[in-house]
């Protein structure tokens, strides 16, 4: 996957805005593709292509936020930099919660924008690498027994061994055993390492 | 009555002439064929005919001068035929000396010069009578032209001339009658006031009779006035009346009136037409006659003697036809029992011989004879009868005066018994007695006789002595009488004769009665008798006789046939001259006496007159003549019958009546009231129209005072004053006053009055009235109305002006202007009326007026607002309501001009407030849209920033792709412009600005608005669908205000869809041509829709269903649309959502839309361009 050049996708209903942004991105020698609507973008985008998305919040027909939802539903992990005409805090929070890479207010300073584009591209690359670890990790998760899953969930919640034993109605020892097996099965040596691994595969 | 003359009329004369002509021809023929024909029958006939026609013929041989006459020629000259041998000289000798020259000249001329011979001349007949003759002749000539013979005819034309003369006189008389009706003909109205009278009447009563009541002229007995009352009550129609009237010279005259009621169509008596004749003289004659008759009657009735009237019955025995009271009493019979009975009832011993002897005595000279009469009770008494035959008409009436001599005998006996008593009684009775001893030739006289004779004892009492006493004129007669009658026939001496009283020479009448005694040998012995002085009686009788003669004279003087008749037999017992002339004869029946009446008249009223004892009058038309026949009972046995030819009178009367009826009809049927009043104000004339209007009938008002009855109390003094003024000859003669009708209603009458003159003064008035109540009311209403309207006109705060309508429809000259208008414009009224309306107008009016004229003509009225120029040059905004009116037949424009300065100011204030409100609303909208606008502005700004940054980097990176750079910079410029437009748009929306109407493409406005609300649309994720009509007409409108409306509607629509699923948020804007001249804009959403409950409130200001906003959007939008003469409304959508739509007139449809330009809130305008008001003017 890494052999592909990243592309900056721009979706804005206003041609001038699109054009301006495209020109700016091109100054840092990145590929640029522009779309007037979210739908156009969805139809044209191949998830295997790396890059990032500059997305206007306000779009006629389907707004930027709705496009983000659609992309999540489709499992597209392309980092999204939202560009809004005016600061709309709840909208920004919402989008960020859903995993937007950034939320910027027009007019956006050229350097800041370009920095964030680079960051987004790096994030995209990282995400694409992580995607391999997750597949392995999930295979290991499948080896866990039902009791071990229960223990894993309690560990993810930060519960101690004693608390786990108490919650599951088992002895401390038994709980110790389950903890050890989970760590063994998932190839981690400690609980913090477990949590990190889980985080990495977006299971936290 | 000319027929009664019995003389030939003109027709007869004509026939006579033609006959004469024939005879002349025949005679001429006869003259030519002498001898042979003379003996023929034809000739004889001719002679007879000549005789009948009084035409003679003659011939004269001009060579020998031998003359031959026909028999009649002899007769005409008074000779027997052939009595003389005529010669020309002989004839000439018979010509009247005065005509002789003419006669000779004519004879000479016909012979010598052959001139026509036709002359009339007089002849003196043999017996000296002068006759008129006409002679015509011709002369025969030999071939040499010498005269041979003259043939001629001679006609006695005396009769003809007389007839012609009479005809001429008759004709003249008729003409005179026609020319002047001598009778008075007068007409009185129902109040018996003279209303018309002829010349005769004027001459009688005086020229001032008209208008006076008939009673005015009545003398004495006014009850005659009452007698005619029935005439006025409707019966009878004709009335005869005799009344004493005062003539103009004050003399009392008796007039005979023939009154005829005048009746109108309804049978109501309206007056009477009367003819009157002065019968004073006749009446006096009648009265004399009557007095005389009464006297006779009294004598007859009251006489102590028994008087019987007898007529000879068929068997010669006298029949009693009348008897006086004394006779009835003496014989013990009632009148009925006695009348019609033969005298033998009373004288059963009467033999035919005795009767014949007595009739003879009575017929001859009248005489005395003794009778012995039987009473009804069978007892007898001796009587002495003096009988006298009196010719009455064709009959003979025997008058017998019977004296019961039983008493006389008794008295004589008693006298004889007592000489003294006898003498005394003789003296008292003035009866003297004598005894004549014929043997001695002496007579002895009583003392009374001596006194009667005026002799003393010494007087020679011989027969000669007696004769000397006898009046010389009677002496012979008395001697004869004594010798022949008394002595010769041994009759009773019974004679009235005159004596000369010896004592004083006075002529006295005495009545001698005596009986002569003879001895057995028939020798005269003695005579015993009485002599009574009857002078007084005689004088009385003489007077009576004279009076009777006078009566006869009067009767004769009657201009008509008058007969005194017996009722039963209609026998004429007396007749006047005219009757005699008409052929009536004494003793004949009346009808037989009238010319051409050969049987009893069917109309005879004699029986009625007789039965009722009252005179009867009848008008009869017979034989082409109208007669007024009278039957007047005179005595118990006689009635006077006379008939007046009233044909002419009648004709005049008819003409008068017709004229009168015509006048009456005119009066009665006249539409105008005709009221006559006397000087006291009493009603004398009152026609139908007056009845109708006043509600009173003529009868109700008769004699009533007009002013008291009909004039309202409050008007009385005034009307009475007018009336009296009129009576004094005042002017004018017309005036109006109200009258009070019977129903109590007041009616206004316009009077035309005339005075009625009488006796040189005014007797009253005749007034012609027209009910002008309605007119008066109308006038009053009109006046009130006029005052009201004048007051309105003068006091109206609005200006009112009337001006002519010029042919082009523009206002012409001022006809009227009120104070308010003058004040409004600063002119005096005088100045106003000479101004041209154009001088008052703003320049606009000239144009407007022409445009409005069309509407004025089409609809009769128009309304416009203009400015008028005051005198001081300032303009006054006015609202004019103009309409077409017809004033005095001329079409004019009536304009109500209202000064709307204040209203204008207020409207402008309102306008300003509204405009402010709209701006506030727009600002509010802008506020609400601020973030949107920020976004909008951000777009170009961020684009600019991007392009500029990109360009900078390219330059820094030494990337000199100039083409790209330029492209980027172009983008920068374009985006900067765009940003500027956005700002400009917002600023315009927020700006305080005046209304600016321009022609606008609605679609353009829609696009502008979409740009305006773009951020909202995008932000609310609303899909916008535009359905814009193509080729829509432009509309006159203020663009910003129109945008404001659309922005409001679009934003409302967007907000309405907040709860709608994003994919369903669809906004549709549709523009179309709704109707000719109307563009429609509709904004539809798919929102929550409208609660029907809020629909009515939707356009109220400050009504809102939203948390934000003023709630004035829709109210303001509607006011804006309406300002543009459009409409704004909401339509609930199908299913959900709703549509707001508005229309705008294009102003190009027709003139009606002309006012689209005039906002209803009074915004002023100019036809020819935009006109700003608002903040700029009033800030």
Tokens at B907, concatenated: 């409207």
Q: Which value does ipTM take for this structure?
A: 0.71
- Tell me if B954 and A27 make a contact (CB, 8 A cut-off): yes
Query: Out of B935, B946, B1021, whose CB is closest to A24?
Result: B946
The pLDDT score that the predictor gives to residue B285 is 62
Task: Reduce the DSSP state of residue A54 to 3 states and report it.
Answer: strand
- Tell me if B1021 and A63 make a contact (CB, 8 A cut-off): yes
Residue window 46-75, chain A: list those with CB within 8 Å of chain B. Answer: 58-63, 66
Residue B248: is it exposed, middle or buried by C-beta count within 10 angstroms (0-12/13-18/19+)?
Answer: middle
pLDDT tens digits for range B827-844: 887 887 777 766 666 555
Indicate whether B787 pLDDT > 80. Answer: no
- How many inter-chain contacts (A to B, CB under 8 Å) are there? 95
Residue bearing tokens 């009595």: B83
Cis bond before residue B774 (omega within 30° of 0): no
Residue B902: is it exposed, middle or buried by C-beta count within 10 angstroms (0-12/13-18/19+)?
Answer: exposed
| Residue B942 with chain A: CB contacts under 8 Å | 17, 20, 83, 85, 106-108
B332-338 long-range contacts (CB < 8 A, ≥24 apart) are B332/B375, B332/B376, B332/B377, B333/B376, B337/B376
| Residue B1021 with chain A: CB contacts under 8 Å | 60-63
| Residue A85 with chain B: CB contacts under 8 Å | 934-936, 938-939, 942, 1015
Indicate whether B885 pLDDT > 90. Answer: no
DSSP B482: I
- Tell me if A60 and B974 make a contact (CB, 8 A cut-off): no
Indicate whether B1080 pLDDT > 90. Answer: yes
Residue bearing tokens 């009541």: B213
Query: Which of B24-28, B197-201, B319-323, B778-782 is predicted least confidently?
Result: B24-28
Residues β-bridged to residue B512: B495, B531
Beginning with the edge strand found earlier in the chain, give each strand of the sheet holding B683-686 in spatial order.
B683-686, B673-678, B761-771, B746-758, B734-740
The pLDDT score that the predictor gives to residue B17 is 58
Beta carbons within 10 angstroms of residue B263's beta carbon: 16
pLDDT tens digits for range B908-954: 787 777 777 788 788 888 887 887 788 788 888 888 988 998 888 88
The full length of chain A comes to 204
- From B910's Cα to the closest Cα of chain A, the distance in A is 40
Q: Which of A73, A75, A38 is nearest to A53 (CA)?
A: A38
Indicate whether B176 pLDDT > 60. Answer: no
Pairwise CA distance, residues B807 & B52, whole Å: 102
The pLDDT score that the predictor gives to residue B1171 is 37
Cis bond before residue B285 (omega within 30° of 0): no
- Residues from B in contact with A at Cβ < 8 Å: 931, 934-936, 938-947, 949-954, 957, 959, 964, 968, 971, 974-975, 978, 1015, 1017-1019, 1021, 1023, 1062
Query: Which of B76-80, B602-606, B974-978 is predicted least confidently?
Result: B602-606
Query: Is the alpha carbon torsion for B824, B828, B833, B839 positive or negative?
Result: negative
Highest mean pLDDT among B268-277, B560-569, B1134-1143: B1134-1143
- From A113's Cα to the closest Cα of chain B, the distance in A is 10
| Residue B935 with chain A: CB contacts under 8 Å | 58, 85-86
Q: Greater confidence, B890 or B134?
A: B134
Position B1166 confidence tier, pLDDT thresholds 50, 70, 90: very low
Residues β-bridged to residue B750: B736, B770
Indicate whether B888 pLDDT > 80. Answer: no
Q: Which of A23, A134, A37 is nearest to A77 (CA)?
A: A134
- E strand map for B588-702: 616-622, 625-633, 639-645, 673-678, 683-686
| Residue A16 with chain B: CB contacts under 8 Å | 939-940, 943, 947, 971, 974-975, 978
pLDDT tens digits for range B480-517: 888 888 888 888 888 888 888 888 888 888 888 888 88
- From B928's Cα to the closest Cα of chain A, the distance in A is 15
Q: Greater confidence, B623 or B991?
A: B991
The pLDDT score that the predictor gives to residue A115 is 92
Q: Which helix (H) or strand (E) holds B464?
A: helix B463-469
Cβ atoms of B580 and B573 closer than 8 Å: no
- Tell me if A85 and B946 make a contact (CB, 8 A cut-off): no
Tokens at B1064, concatenated: 């369903």
Three-class SS of B53-74: HCEEEEEEECCCCCEEECHHHH
pLDDT tens digits for range B637-688: 777 787 777 777 667 666 666 666 666 666 666 667 778 888 888 888 788 8
- Tell me if A86 and B940 make a contact (CB, 8 A cut-off): no
Beta carbons within 10 angstroms of residue A102's beta carbon: 23
Q: B350-375 burial, b if ≥16 CB within 10 A, otherwise e?
A: beeeebeebbebbeeebbbbebebbe
Beta carbons within 10 angstroms of residue B244's beta carbon: 16
| Residue B941 with chain A: CB contacts under 8 Å | 106-107
Pairwise CA distance, residues B1117 & B1099, whole Å: 9
Query: Which of B198-207, B556-565, B737-746, B1158-1167 is predicted least confidently?
Result: B1158-1167
- From A94's Cα to the closest Cα of chain B, the distance in A is 16
- From A44's Cα to the closest Cα of chain B, the distance in A is 22
- Tell me if B942 and A20 make a contact (CB, 8 A cut-off): yes
- From A4's Cα to the closest Cα of chain B, the distance in A is 25
Most A CBs within 10 A among B931, B936, B939, B971, hence the mutation to make, goes to B939
pTM value surpassing 0.90 = no
- From A119's Cα to the closest Cα of chain B, the distance in A is 19
Indicate whether B1131 pLDDT > 80. Answer: yes
- Tell me if B939 and A110 make a contact (CB, 8 A cut-off): no
Instruction: Report the pLDDT averaged over residues B574-596.
Output: 70
Instruction: Report the pLDDT averaged over residues B997-1001.
Output: 88
Query: Out of A20, A26, A108, whose CB is closest to B971?
Result: A20
- Tell me if B942 and A26 make a contact (CB, 8 A cut-off): no
Residue window 75-114, chain A: list those with CB within 8 Å of chain B. Answer: 83, 85-86, 106-110
- Tell me if B950 and A86 make a contact (CB, 8 A cut-off): no
Percent helix, strand and coil across chain B, each to the nearest 5? 45, 30, 25
Residues β-bridged to residue B218: B245
Query: Nearest residue on chain A to B1064, judged by CA atoms?
Result: A61
- Tell me if A21 and B934 make a contact (CB, 8 A cut-off): no
Q: What is the mean pLDDT of chain B?
A: 75
Strands B269-278 and B67-69: unpaired
- Tell me if A14 and B943 make a contact (CB, 8 A cut-off): yes
Pairwise CA distance, residues B797 & B779, whole Å: 28
- Tell me if B946 and A58 make a contact (CB, 8 A cut-off): no
Query: Nearest residue on chain A to B953, judged by CA atoms?
Result: A27
Beginning with the edge strand found earlier in the chain, give each strand of the sheet holding B616-622 in spatial order.
B572-575, B561-565, B639-645, B625-633, B616-622
- From A106's Cα to the closest Cα of chain B, the distance in A is 6
Position B166 confidence tier, pLDDT thresholds 50, 70, 90: low
């Amino acid at each position: 996957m890494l052999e592909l050049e990243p592309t900056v996708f721009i979706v804005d209903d206003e041609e001038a805005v699109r054009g301006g942004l495209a020109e700016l991105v091109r100054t840092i020698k990145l590929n640029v593709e522009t779309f007037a609507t979210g739908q156009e973008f969805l139809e044209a985008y191949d998830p295997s292509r790396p890059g990032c998305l500059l997305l206007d919040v306000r779009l006629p027909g389907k707004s930027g936020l709705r496009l983000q939802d659609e992309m999540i539903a489709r499992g597209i992990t392309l980092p999204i930099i939202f560009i809004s005409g005016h600061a709309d805090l709840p909208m920004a929070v919402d989008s960020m919660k859903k995993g937007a890479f950034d939320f910027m207010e027009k007019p956006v300073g050229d350097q800041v924008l370009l920095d964030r584009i680079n960051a987004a591209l790096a994030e995209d690359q990282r995400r694409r690498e992580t995607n391999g670890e997750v597949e392995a990790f999930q295979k290991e998760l499948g080896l866990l027994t039902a009791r071990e899953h229960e223990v894993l969930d309690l560990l993810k919640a930060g519960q101690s061994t004693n608390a786990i034993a108490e919650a599951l109605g088992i002895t401390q020892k038994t709980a110790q055993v389950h903890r050890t097996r989970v760590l063994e099965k998932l190839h981690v040596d400690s609980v913090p390492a477990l949590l990190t691994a889980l985080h990495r595969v977006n299971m936290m | 009555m000319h027929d009664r003359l019995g003389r030939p009329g003109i027709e007869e004369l004509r026939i006579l002439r033609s006959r004469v002509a024939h005879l002349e021809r025949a005679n001429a023929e006869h003259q030519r064929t002498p001898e042979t024909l003379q003996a023929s029958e034809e000739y004889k006939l001719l002679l007879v005919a000549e005789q009948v026609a009084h035409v003679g013929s003659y011939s004269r041989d001009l060579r020998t001068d031998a003359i031959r006459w026909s028999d009649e020629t002899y007769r005409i000259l008074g000779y027997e035929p052939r009595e003389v041998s005529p010669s020309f000289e002989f004839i000439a000798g018979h010509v009247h000396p005065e005509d002789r020259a003419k006669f000779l000249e004519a004879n000479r001329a016909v012979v010598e010069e052959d001139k026509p011979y036709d002359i009339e001349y007089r002849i003196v007949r043999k017996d000296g009578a002068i006759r008129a003759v006409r002679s015509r002749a011709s002369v025969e000539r030999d071939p040499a032209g010498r005269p041979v013979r003259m043939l001629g005819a001679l006609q006695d034309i005396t009769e003809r001339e007389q007839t012609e003369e009479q005809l001429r006189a008759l004709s003249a008389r008729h003409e005179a009658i026609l020319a002047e009706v001598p009778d008075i003909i007068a007409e009185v109205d129902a109040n018996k006031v003279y209303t018309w009278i002829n010349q005769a009447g004027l001459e009688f009563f005086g020229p001032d009779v008209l208008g006076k009541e008939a009673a005015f002229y009545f003398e004495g007995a006014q009850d005659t006035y009452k007698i005619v009352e029935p005439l006025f009550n409707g019966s009878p129609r004709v009335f005869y009346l005799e009344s004493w009237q005062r003539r103009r010279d004050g003399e009392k005259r008796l007039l005979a009136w023939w009154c005829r009621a005048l009746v109108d169509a309804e049978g109501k008596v309206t007056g009477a037409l009367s003819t009157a004749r002065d019968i004073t003289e006749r009446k006096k004659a009648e009265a004399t006659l009557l007095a005389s008759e009464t006297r006779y009657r009294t004598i007859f009735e009251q006489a102590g003697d028994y008087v019987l009237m007898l007529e000879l019955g068929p068997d010669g025995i006298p029949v009693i036809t009348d008897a006086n009271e004394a006779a009835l009493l003496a014989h013990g019979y009632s009148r009925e029992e006695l009348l019609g009975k033969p005298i033998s009832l009373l004288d059963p011993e009467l033999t035919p011989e005795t009767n014949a002897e007595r009739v003879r005595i009575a017929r001859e000279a009248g005489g005395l004879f003794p009778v012995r009469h039987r009473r009804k009770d069978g007892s007898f008494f001796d009587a002495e009868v003096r009988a006298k035959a009196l010719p009455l008409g064709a009959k003979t009436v025997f008058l017998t005066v019977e004296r019961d001599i039983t008493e006389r005998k008794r008295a004589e006996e008693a006298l004889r018994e007592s000489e003294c008593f006898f003498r005394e009684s003789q003296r008292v009775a003035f009866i003297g007695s004598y005894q004549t001893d014929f043997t001695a030739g002496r007579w002895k006289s009583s003392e009374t006789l001596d006194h009667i004779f005026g002799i003393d004892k010494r007087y020679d009492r011989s027969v000669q002595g007696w004769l000397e006493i006898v009046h010389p004129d009677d002496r012979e007669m008395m001697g004869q009488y004594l010798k022949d009658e008394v002595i010769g026939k041994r009759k009773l001496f019974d004679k009235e004769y005159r004596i000369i009283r010896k004592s004083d020479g006075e002529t006295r009448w005495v009545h001698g009665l005596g009986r002569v005694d003879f001895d057995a040998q028939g020798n005269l012995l003695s005579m015993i008798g009485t002599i009574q002085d009857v002078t007084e009686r005689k004088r009385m009788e003489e007077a009576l006789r004279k009076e009777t003669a006078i009566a006869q004279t009067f009767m004769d003087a009657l201009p008509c046939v008058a007969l005194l008749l017996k009722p039963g037999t209609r026998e004429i017992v007396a007749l006047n001259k005219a009757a005699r002339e008409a052929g009536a004869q004494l003793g004949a029946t009346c009808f037989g006496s009238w010319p051409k009446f050969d049987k009893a008249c069917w109309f005879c009223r004699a029986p009625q007159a007789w039965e009722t004892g009252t005179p009867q009058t009848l008008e009869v038309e017979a034989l082409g003549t109208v007669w007024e026949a009278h039957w007047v009972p005179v005595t118990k046995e006689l009635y006077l019958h006379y008939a007046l030819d009233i044909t002419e009178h009648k004709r005049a009367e008819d003409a008068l009546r017709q004229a009168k009826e015509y006048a009456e009809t005119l009066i009665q049927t006249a539409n105008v009231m005709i009221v006559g009043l006397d000087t006291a104000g009493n009603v004398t004339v009152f026609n139908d129209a007056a009845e109708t209007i006043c509600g009173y009938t003529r009868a109700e008002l008769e004699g009533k005072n007009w002013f008291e009855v009909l004039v309202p109390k409050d008007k009385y003094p005034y009307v009475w004053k007018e009336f009296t003024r009129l009576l004094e000859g005042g002017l004018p003669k017309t005036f109006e006053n109200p009258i009070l009708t019977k129903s109590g209603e007041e009616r206004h009458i316009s009077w035309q009055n005339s005075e009625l003159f009488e006796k040189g003064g005014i007797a009253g008035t005749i007034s012609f009235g027209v009910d002008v109540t309605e007119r008066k009311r109308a006038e009053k209403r009109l006046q009130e109305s006029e005052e009201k309207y004048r007051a309105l006109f003068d006091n109206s705060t609005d200006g009112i002006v009337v001006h002519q309508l010029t042919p082009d429809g523009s206002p012409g000259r001022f006809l009227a202007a009120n104070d308010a208008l003058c004040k409004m414009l600063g002119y005096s009224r005088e100045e106003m009326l000479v101004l041209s309306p154009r001088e008052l107008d703003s320049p606009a009016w000239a144009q407007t007026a022409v445009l409005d004229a069309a509407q004025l003509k089409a609809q009769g009225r128009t309304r416009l607002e203009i400015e008028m120029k005051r005198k001081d040059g300032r303009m006054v905004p006015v609202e004019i309501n103009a309409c077409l009116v017809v004033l005095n037949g001329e079409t004019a424009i009536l304009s109500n001009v209202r000064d709307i300065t204040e209203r204008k100011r207020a409207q402008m204030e309102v306008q300003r407030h509204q405009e402010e409100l709209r701006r506030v609303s727009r600002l509010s909208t802008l506020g609400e849209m601020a973030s949107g606008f920020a976004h909008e502005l951000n777009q170009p700004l961020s684009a600019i920033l991007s392009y500029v940054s990109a360009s900078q980097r390219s330059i820094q990176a030494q990337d000199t792709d100039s083409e790209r750079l330029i492209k980027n910079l172009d983008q920068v410029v374009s985006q900067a412009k765009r940003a500027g437009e956005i700002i400009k748009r917002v600023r315009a929306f927020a700006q305080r600005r005046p209304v600016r109407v321009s022609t606008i493409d609605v679609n353009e406005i829609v696009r502008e608005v979409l740009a305006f609300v773009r951020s909202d649309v995008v932000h609310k994720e609303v899909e916008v669908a535009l359905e814009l009509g193509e080729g829509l007409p432009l509309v006159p409108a203020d663009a910003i205000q129109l945008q404001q409306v659309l922005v409001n509607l679009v934003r409302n629509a967007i907000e309405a869809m907040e709860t709608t699923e994003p994919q369903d948020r669809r906004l549709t804007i549709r523009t179309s041509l709704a109707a000719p001249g109307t563009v429609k804009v509709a904004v539809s959403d798919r929102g929550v829709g409208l609660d029907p409950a809020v629909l009515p409130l939707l356009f109220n200001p400050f009504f809102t269903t939203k948390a934000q906003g003023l709630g004035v959007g829709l109210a303001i939008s509607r006011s804006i649309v309406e300002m543009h003469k459009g409409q704004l409304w909401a339509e609930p959508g199908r299913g959900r959502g709703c549509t707001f739509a508005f229309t705008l007139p294009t102003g190009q449809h027709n003139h009606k839309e002309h006012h689209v330009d005039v906002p209803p809130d009074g915004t002023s305008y100019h036809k020819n361009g935009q006109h700003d008001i608002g903040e700029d003017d009033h800030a």
